[in-house]
Chain A
Amino acid sequence: MIRALIQILWRDLRLSLRQGSDVAVLVTFFVITVSLFPFAVGPEPVILERIAAGVIWVTALLATMLSLDRLFQSDFDDGSLDLLIMSSPPLELIVLAKVTAHWLIAGLPLIIAAPFLAVALRLPADGYLFLIAVMTIGTPTLSLVGAVGAALTLGARRSGVLISLLVLPLFIPVLIFGVAAIDAGISGLAVRPHLLILGAMLIAALPLAPWATATALRQSLT
């Protein structure tokens, strides 16, 4: 069973890497959107410093959105989902394997790109460590919660738009505490509570989101 799950994870990674453009498009979107802000609000370091954490987080949410629709859609379209549902591991664990693959493809590159963008936005030096830490805890939650939306909108027309409507509101708590943690870090306040809450969200999403996603996937068959 473990082997089957690793196979699923590995297959999704391989498919994305062979596609190549997937990860590139995502990171490019992230970089370009964040770079728009200095042009829009002007290059004053004070303003950029103030908005850096928020801009990076909001853009990370949007980039995650962008990558969600392909999480189950291609498997649904070509009939692979039938095989996955009938395979030996429980669907919940299959979802977890696919979400892990999604995070490695869509979450990890954002975490790597974020510090470089933070330089462009003049994030104070104290913030970098927290930025990376917070994104590492926060982005898996985004992938998990996003999977529920992706599964619910399966088979719907214009599902990309629908996912955004469903999932973006659910991302707000991650956004609030993600930005608050970085701000607290910069101004020397306690970061730990924010990180703990983000961690709690991840721990809650870890069993709940795959369960909800699996239910939605089963529903999509009828």
Chain B
Amino acid sequence: MPSSLTGNDLVCIRGERTVFEGLSFSIGESDAIVLRGANGSGKSTLLRLMAGLLHPYSGVVTWNKLDISQDIHTHGANIHYVGHQDAIKPLLTVAENLSFAASLKASEFNLRNALEAFSLINLTDLPVRLLSAGQRRRLALSRLIASQAPLWLLDEPTVSLDGGAVTMLLSAIAAHRAGGGMVVVAAHGPLNLPYASEFDVGAFAPTGSVDFEGAS
């Protein structure tokens, strides 16, 4: 059965503030969606809703027609979420960080592929505290390759990446989609994803709301 993630009439309230309302989306096999919107429009929130880390105030997110809030652990196996934070431990080496994250997801994983995809192979035994911000980001992204999950949720993945690393990311995404995988990316800058649809989260801001400049 082809996988799909859909959201129906989602309303999200954080704190006292309605972030968005009436938001619906649908992602099918090999789809790529780029989330757009101003700061504070709810891109990260939407990604976390898709990951099941947050629950909508109303509305439902479904994976293959099943409500994901019913079973976050099963849903966790379907997705890879790379957030703003790299979720890596400075005291562990690159390989240790990667194999730990991969072992949480799947019983078998391929470290070498992951390290090669983001050219980390020369840094394998280095403690992460010695890496640069861009290298840490590459390590966080290499988790995507180490254990395959059908849906990738990427929150500003290109932050602190150099040109070469962005190319690595794009080719990883292309390979993932070629295998039927889905990708949702929240991004500000231009991102050269072929046949990706753009989704403006800002369009679902509550009507009559004021502009939240800089809020996130």
Q: Which residues of A contact B (CB under 8 A)?
A: 3-4, 7-8, 11, 14-15, 18-19, 74, 77-80, 82-91, 221-222
Q: How far is the CA of A83 from the CA of B77 in the complex (A)?
A: 11
Once the chains are docked, how many angstroms separate the CA of A87 from the CA of B87? 13
Cβ of B107 under 8 Å from chain A: yes
Query: Taking beta carbons and an 8 Å cutoff, which residues of B are in contact with A?
Result: 14, 48, 51-55, 72-73, 75-77, 79, 81, 83-89, 91-92, 96, 100-101, 103-107
A-B contact pairs, 29 of them (CB 8 A): A3-B107, A4-B104, A7-B104, A11-B89, A18-B91, A74-B89, A77-B85, A78-B86, A78-B88, A78-B89, A79-B83, A79-B86, A79-B87, A80-B89, A82-B83, A83-B87, A84-B104, A85-B53, A86-B73, A86-B79, A86-B81, A88-B73, A88-B76, A88-B77, A88-B104, A90-B73, A221-B54, A222-B14, A222-B55
Lowest 7 CB-CB distances: which A-B pairs, in order?
A: A79-B85, A86-B76, A87-B104, A79-B87, A18-B91, A80-B87, A7-B103
Please determine whether A222 and B54 come into contact, CB atoms closer than 8 angstroms: yes
Q: A8: shortest Cβ distance to chain B, in Å? A: 8
Contact A86 B52, CB 8 Å, known A11-B89, A15-B89, A78-B88: yes
Whether B107 lies near A86 (C-beta < 8 A) is no
The answer to whether A87 touches B89 (Cβ under 8 A) is no
A-B contact number at CB 8 A? 77
Q: Which residues of A contact B86 (CB under 8 A)?
A: 78-79
A19 contacts B104, C-beta separation under 8 Å: no
B100 close to A85 (CB less than 8 A): no
Q: Which residues of B contact A11 (CB under 8 A)?
A: 89, 92, 96, 100
Give Cα A51 to B51, complex, Å: 54
- CA of A85 to CA of B96, assembled, Å: 19
If A88-B73, A88-B76 touch, whether A82 touches B100 (CB-CB below 8 Å) is no
CB neighbours (8 Å) of B96 from chain A are: 11, 14
Docked Cα-Cα span, A108 to B54, in Å, equals 37
Is the CB–CB distance between A82 and B87 below 8 Å? yes
Chain B residues, CB < 8 A from A15 = 89, 91-92
